[in-house]
């Protein structure tokens, strides 16, 4: 028994005692409560083998057993407790829990942070009391957890019995969504190892749950439903721990980051959109993000059974040309590569296939396979030998009941024989969304086939995630993370020229330029350059120069330069008479190359991030951008280029010089480092455009925005 005056530390072991308890107390037990009844029924259905205590301050008999008036009154040490008591009784309950040596508690009760500030204050006081007593809290306002591996649920709505060989863990901030996901997983025969509902997260949060699950042998993938992330740094560390343990994290997140609203008027913030920062984090740390409950379960299931896929693409075969066409269209829409087969592969297929079949990917076996099912195994083996194929798929439904002739068994047997010869990940998938019962799962496993009833859409989406995770892991082996630079001395760059000079000092190539304060000096500088020039106003008060007539491009000849200078000064004075004018920038005119936008922002939740997209006026018109959290590596930057819809422009579109992507990646990394070195008061650093012309890459314009006033400007 623990001394009430000596709080126990909250250790990792305490989570083990909570999630794998040998003794449980149902505090507030009563047969009149659906929550209490469901919790008891779940424990009986699972066959919980530990000690179960019923606690009710009035005593009595519940579920056929006498109830103690308190946990301490049992005279035994208790591992975990389900608290089904009003919020007003929580303080005295924790005193009792401490006396009974309770290590962890599940709090069903609501009326805390979810109801506003007064509830948040009550939640803080409750968490403080639990912390002082050394008691971990799951909740409040949560449905609990279920440890399917240990047949131990503390869950307050009805659950189905554990399945054999479970391999997917589920963590959800919403208990109701977790219940729906558990039902769907059962329908698909996806065995859950654990299900944890974190509720308001007064203590145990999603990161704690991920870290706990990462240490266990049974979960092979972790599925998350998130509404928010309260501690981003710990969340990222937990995901990395899961990855290091070989467990892929798949997330369905609702809601959005408020980066755009909090980034002042910086263009970078407005380009990000509500959810782009979280998306960028997922890509960067290797999380697979999905967008439906069905996709969450199907994807986590296939990660658990197949793992990440190292390879170039997917090869699919079916006994229907129409299905093959559907697969082709949906794979293209989802960015899943369906590679063209090598001539050696198509030649081998011609020797196997009937004359009416065309060797291609996807491969239509035609109705001939109905009469010659051995075509399935032979063609699968041939497809697997193609170097461009990383994963194989076969379209066929597993029957819910064995048909009398055993036809389905015969076909699936040949699928299994083909899969066994490949040495590559293989999946048999249903064409439509289909239930998977115990008979279907048993038949496919007997034949050595990994089968999903997720249908074309969800199975292809999951395969895309498997391939992208494989690519991400390959990049990680090549990438060296760039460390953040130290805080730069000498104040804050504010004007365009200060920004470009600062970037140049940080190793970023910038366009040559001179600052002039007269038309005569502009003429002299332009003549010395010996080529067309660009003139731009220089002012700490003017961020967007074109809007005030502060830019004239492609100027040739002395008279034209003089006229351009005078026109800029007149236009700016009329549009912004109060603006401070530092001069006019004269620089060589660049007429070829791809204009890119590179901008950084500081998200209030996730920290500094960097955005790359098509530049110039297109950055606002097209919003074709990719994002990562800082710092980034060159491999991250290269991946960002591949995510742009306009990436073809980098590769010599219509005769233009192809951009040196590796050199461009180094420049983007240097821009990110330069932004980090400016410190936490930097709201945004923007380069628009960053001109990429073959091997020549130059920043042509720069802008900074700060969270406080720059007194040096």
Residue 437 burial (CB count, 10 A):
16
d(C-alpha 150, C-alpha 429), whole Å: 31
The two tokens of residue 622 are 């097209």
Residues 458 and 376 both lie in one domain: yes
* DSSP-derived 3-state class of residue 302: helix
Note whether residue 486 is domain-resident: no
Residue 184 is classified by DSSP as: H
Looking at residues 594-606, what average pLDDT do you find?
Answer: 91
Domain of residue 71: give its range.
Answer: 1-142
Residues 439 and 516 both lie in one domain: no
The residue among 535, 558, 588 that closes a domain is 588
The per-residue pLDDT for range 193-251, each reduced to its tens digit, is 999 999 999 999 999 999 999 999 999 999 999 988 989 999 999 999 999 999 999 99
Cis status, amide bond into 263, omega within 30 of 0: no
What's the count of helices (H) and strands (E) in the chain, helices before strands? 24, 29
Residues 701 and 570 both lie in one domain: no
The residue among 142, 163, 183 that closes a domain is 142
Note whether residue 494 is domain-resident: no
Count of domains observed in the chain = 4
User: What pLDDT was estimated at residue 273?
Assistant: 44
Instruction: Tell me the pLDDT of the chain averaged across its residues.
Output: 89
User: What pLDDT was estimated at residue 401?
Assistant: 82
Residues in the chain: 713
Looking at residues 570-580, what average pLDDT do you find?
Answer: 94
Note whether residue 206 is domain-resident: no
Residues 99 and 129 both lie in one domain: yes
Q: Assign residue 698 the CATH number of its domain.
A: 3.30.470.20
Where is mean pLDDT largest: 181-195, 353-367, 601-615, 641-655?
Answer: 181-195
d(C-alpha 597, C-alpha 689), whole Å: 5
> Are 214 and 242 contacting, i.e. CB atoms less than 8 angstroms apart?
yes
Residues 405 and 550 both lie in one domain: no
Cis status, amide bond into 140, omega within 30 of 0: yes
Looking at residues 375-379, what average pLDDT do you find?
Answer: 96
Q: Is 288 exposed, middle or buried, given 0-12, 13-18 or 19+ CB atoms closer than 10 A? A: buried
Q: Is 599 exposed, middle or buried, given 0-12, 13-18 or 19+ CB atoms closer than 10 A? A: buried
Residues 417 and 521 both lie in one domain: no
Residues 27 and 134 both lie in one domain: yes
DSSP states along 443-490: HHHHTT--EE-SHHHHHHHHHHHHHHHHHHHHHHHH--PPPPPPPPSS
Note whether residue 168 is domain-resident: no
The per-residue pLDDT for range 661-673, each reduced to its tens digit, is 999 999 999 999 9
Note whether residue 655 is domain-resident: yes
Note whether residue 353 is domain-resident: yes
The residue among 478, 496, 527 that closes a domain is 478
Q: Assign residue 473 the CATH number of its domain.
A: 3.40.50.261
Considering only residues 159 and 494, tell me which one the structure prediction assigns the higher pLDDT.
159
| Residue entry with tokens 């299905």 | 323
- Please name every residue paired with 611 in a beta bridge, in sequence order, or none if there are none: 599, 627
Per-residue confidence at 489, pLDDT binned at 50, 70, 90? very low
Residues 6+ apart with CB under 8 A from 333: none
Residues 582 and 646 both lie in one domain: no
Q: By C-alpha distance, which of 184, 207, 377 is closest to 287?
A: 207
CA dihedral defined by 511, 512, 517, 518, rounded to 10 degrees? -110
State percent of the chain over pLDDT 90. Answer: 73
Per-residue confidence at 1, pLDDT binned at 50, 70, 90? very low
Report whether pLDDT(484) > 60.
Answer: no
Residues 577 and 605 both lie in one domain: no
What is the separation of C-alpha 572 from the centre of its chain, rounded to a whole number of angstroms? 45
Residues 571 and 686 both lie in one domain: no
Please tell me the pTM assigned to this model: 0.83
Strands of the sheet with 363-364, listed across from one edge? 363-364, 314-318, 391-395, 426-429, 451-452
> Are 375 and 365 contacting, i.e. CB atoms less than 8 angstroms apart?
yes
Report whether pLDDT(487) > 50.
Answer: no
Residues 535 and 473 both lie in one domain: no
Note whether residue 149 is domain-resident: no
Q: Assign residue 545 the CATH number of its domain.
A: 3.30.1490.20
Per-residue confidence at 351, pLDDT binned at 50, 70, 90? very high
The two tokens of residue 463 are 């395969």
Note whether residue 370 is domain-resident: yes
> Are 390 and 314 contacting, i.e. CB atoms less than 8 angstroms apart?
yes
d(C-alpha 168, C-alpha 174), whole Å: 18
Residues 554 and 691 both lie in one domain: no
């Amino acid at each position: 028994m623990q001394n009430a005056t000596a709080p126990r530390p909250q250790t990792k072991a305490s989570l083990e005692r909570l999630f794998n308890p040998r003794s449980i107390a149902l505090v507030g037990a009563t047969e009149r409560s659906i929550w209490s009844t469901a919790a008891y029924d779940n424990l009986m259905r699972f066959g919980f083998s530990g000690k179960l205590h019923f606690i009710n301050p009035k005593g009595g008999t519940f579920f056929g057993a006498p109830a103690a008036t308190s946990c301490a009154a049992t005279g035994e040490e208790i591992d975990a407790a389900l608290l089904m008591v009003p919020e007003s009784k929580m303080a005295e309950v924790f005193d009792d829990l401490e006396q009974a040596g309770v290590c962890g508690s599940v709090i069903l009760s609501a009326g805390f942070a979810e109801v506003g500030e007064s509830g948040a204050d009550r939640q803080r006081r409750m968490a403080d009391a639990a912390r002082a007593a050394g008691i971990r809290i799951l909740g409040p306002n949560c449905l609990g957890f279920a440890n399917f591996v240990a047949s131990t649920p503390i869950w307050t709505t009805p659950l189905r019995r554990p399945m054999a060989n479970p391999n997917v863990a589920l963590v959800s901030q919403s208990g109701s969504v977790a219940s729906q996901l558990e039902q769907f997983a059962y329908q698909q025969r996806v065995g859950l190892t654990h299900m944890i509902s974190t509720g308001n997260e007064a203590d145990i949060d999603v990161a704690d749950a991920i870290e706990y699950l990462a240490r266990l042998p049974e979960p092979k993938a972790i599925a998350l439903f998130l509404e928010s992330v309260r501690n981003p740094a710990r969340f990222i560390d937990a995901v990395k721990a899961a990855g290091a343990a070989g467990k892929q994290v798949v997330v369905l997140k609702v809601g959005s980051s408020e980066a755009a609203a909090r980034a002042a008027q910086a263009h970078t913030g407005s380009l990000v959109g509500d959810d782009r920062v979280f998306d960028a984090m997922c890509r960067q740390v290797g999380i697979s993000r999905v967008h439906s409950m069905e996709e969450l379960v199907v994807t986590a299931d296939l990660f658990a059974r197949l793992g990440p896929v190292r390879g170039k693409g997917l090869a699919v075969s079916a006994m229907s040309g129409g299905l093959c066409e559907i697969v082709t269209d949906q794979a293209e829409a989802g960015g899943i590569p369906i590679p063209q087969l090598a001539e050696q592969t198509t030649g081998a297929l011609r020797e196997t296939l009937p004359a009416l079949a065309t060797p291609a990917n996807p491969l239509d076996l035609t109705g001939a396979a109905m009469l010659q099912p051995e075509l399935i195994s032979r063609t699968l083996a041939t497809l697997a030998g193609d170097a461009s194929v990383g994963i194989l798929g076969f379209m066929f439904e597993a029957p819910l009941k064995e048909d009398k002739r055993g036809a389905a068994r015969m076909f699936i047997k040949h699928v299994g024989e083909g899969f066994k010869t490949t040495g590559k990940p293989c999946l048999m998938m249903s064409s439509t969304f289909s239930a998977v019962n115990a008979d279907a799962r048993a038949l496919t496993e007997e034949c050595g086939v990994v089968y999903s009833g997720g249908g074309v859409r969800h199975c292809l989406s999951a395969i895309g995630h498997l391939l992208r995770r494989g690519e991400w892991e390959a990049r990680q082996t090549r990438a060296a993370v760039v460390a953040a630079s130290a805080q730069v001395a000498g104040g804050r760059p504010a004007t365009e020229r200060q920004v470009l000079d600062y970037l140049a000092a940080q190793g970023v190539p910038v366009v040559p330029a001179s600052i002039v304060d007269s038309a005569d000096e502009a003429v002299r500088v332009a003549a010395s350059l010996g080529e067309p020039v660009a003139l731009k106003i220089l002012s700490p008060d003017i961020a967007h120069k074109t809007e005030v007539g502060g830019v004239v491009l492609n100027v040739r000849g002395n008279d034209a330069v003089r006229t351009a200078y005078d026109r800029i000064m007149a236009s700016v004075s009329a549009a912004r008479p109060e603006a401070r004018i530092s001069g006019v920038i004269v620089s060589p005119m660049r007429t070829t190359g791809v204009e890119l936008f590179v901008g950084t922002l500081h998200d209030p939740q996730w920290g500094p991030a960097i955005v790359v997209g098509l530049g110039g006026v297109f950055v606002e018109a097209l919003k074709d951008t990719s994002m990562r959290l800082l710092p980034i590596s060159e491999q991250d930057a290269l991946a960002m280029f591949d995510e742009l819809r306009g990436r073809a422009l980098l590769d010599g579109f219509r005769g233009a010089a192809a951009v040196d992507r590796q050199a461009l990646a180094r420049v983007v990394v240097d821009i990110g480092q330069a932004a980090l070195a400016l410190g936490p008061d930097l709201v945004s650093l923007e380069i628009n455009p960053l001109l990429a012309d073959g091997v020549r890459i130059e920043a042509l314009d720069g802008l900074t925005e700060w969270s406080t006033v720059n007194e040096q400007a």
